[in-house]
Amino acid sequence: MTDITMPKLSDSMEAGTILSWLKADGETVAAGDELVEIETDKANMTYESPEAGTLAIVASAGEALPVGAVIARVGAGAEAPASVAPAFEVPAAAPAANGSAASTAVAATPIARRLAAAHGVDLSALAGSGPRGRVTRADVAAAAGIAAPAAPKAAPLATAAAPAAPAAQAALGPAADGVEVRELSRLQQVVARRMAEAKATVPEFQVQTEVAMDAALALRAQLKAAASEGGVVPSVNDLIVKASALALREHPLANGSYKDGRFELHPRVNVGIAVAAQDALVVPTITDADTRSLGSIATEARRLAARVRDGSITPPELSGGTFTVSNLGMYGITAMNPVINMPQAAILGAGATRTVLARNTDGEITDRHLMTLTLTCDHRILYGADAARFLATIRDLLEAPLRLAL
């Protein structure tokens, strides 16, 4: 008999919440079968059985447990305590209106479960389009006859966040004066705690510059014209990611971290892209962005953003970032001061590209496209001059962007 403990699914994970059991208590399972869906500090993911045998569930769905706590046992003669909750209990989501108990046994993303509960869709009747046949939000939306979330027209970096479904955040009921109080999800709690820690512990400062984006926009237009039908065309945000990655290679301190009184300079350039999920900010990582082509960065960014939206993103895809890019330009925001994603040395905030009047070299008035970039830095590892040189390199690469296409 083998104890199955709450796994440590990311470097920063301290505890996890059991969302649902995918196998029944007492059911015979094979090694590699998906047993349980767990909410971590980075994502929701399934955990597989380490061996074959009979499953005995120890911790019920909805429980938040520290890493290392026993959640089940598997093997010959495995027995669960009498207090074990019924298998397949799904927290904060009512059963489907048609009363089908099988819905909770189906492999589905948490968002899909909540949407199915809200619209009375039987998950067991759906063919999942996600990884390993998981039912996604789009599958449920199609079955319910409602509009599926539209893919963003701009870069996936700050995908528009849909309003959270009522079950996504447990309502605690009306408070005084009719104020509605909602419980934060574990991911929201982690984001709130880390942002507060960053503001309290990191001596941060910002440097800002204006970038003439005319050449970069012209390059993107050329890439779009040359792309095959259905091919992925790099977005402005993909250009920013590539420029940042090349600049990080030239300025290793910006690709480092301050930890325990020392500088840690990372050998790989892994750029995180901030994506607005349904109820939190998620930062998947484009690994080795400095050696990738623009096309590879564009393809990977879209893949990661799609996995964030359908809830299938995994902790490895959210780990290892050495720098972060956050873009609110698609919302018309001209500038932003982003909060550092600890323990990274810096984060880059990008605003919208806007048209202004300027004089060219001949003195004639012409249109120019400007974008504001703001770099938030940890002053313990990056000083003002370091930050200025790093940001100037990003600006220079975007203003003369042929190096980005190499």
At residue 100, does pLDDT exceed 50?
A: no
333-372 confidence digits (pLDDT tens): 999 999 998 889 999 999 999 999 988 888 899 999 999 9
| Surface-to-core class of residue 158, CB atoms within 10 Å of its CB (0-12 exposed, 13-18 middle, 19+ buried) | buried
DSSP 183-223: PPPHHHHHHHHHHHHHHHH--EEEEEEEEE-HHHHHHHHHH
Domains and CATH numbers, the chain: 2-144 (2.40.50.100), 189-405 (3.30.559.10)
16-72 confidence digits (pLDDT tens): 888 889 998 889 999 888 889 888 766 777 888 888 999 999 998 888 888 889 999
Residue 10's pLDDT is 67
- Cα angle at 278 between 276 and 282, to 5 degrees? 40
Residue 28's pLDDT is 92
Residue 44's pLDDT is 73
110: cis peptide before it, omega within 30°?
no
Residue 188's pLDDT is 76
119, 266, 369, 379: the active-site residue: 379
Top pLDDT among 101 and 247 is at 247
Q: Range with the lowest mean pLDDT among 245-254, 277-286, 352-361, 369-378?
A: 277-286
Average pLDDT over the chain reads 82
At residue 249, does pLDDT exceed 70?
A: yes
139-181 confidence digits (pLDDT tens): 887 888 765 544 333 333 333 333 333 334 444 555 567 788 8
- The reply to whether 379 belongs to the active site is yes
- Binned at pLDDT 50, 70 and 90, residue 385 comes out as very high
At residue 77, does pLDDT exceed 70?
A: no
309-341 confidence digits (pLDDT tens): 887 888 888 889 999 999 999 999 999 999 998
Separation in Å, CA 132 to CA 9, 106, 129, 260, 397? 20, 11, 8, 42, 41
Residue 78's pLDDT is 52
Percent of the chain residues topping a pLDDT of 70: 82
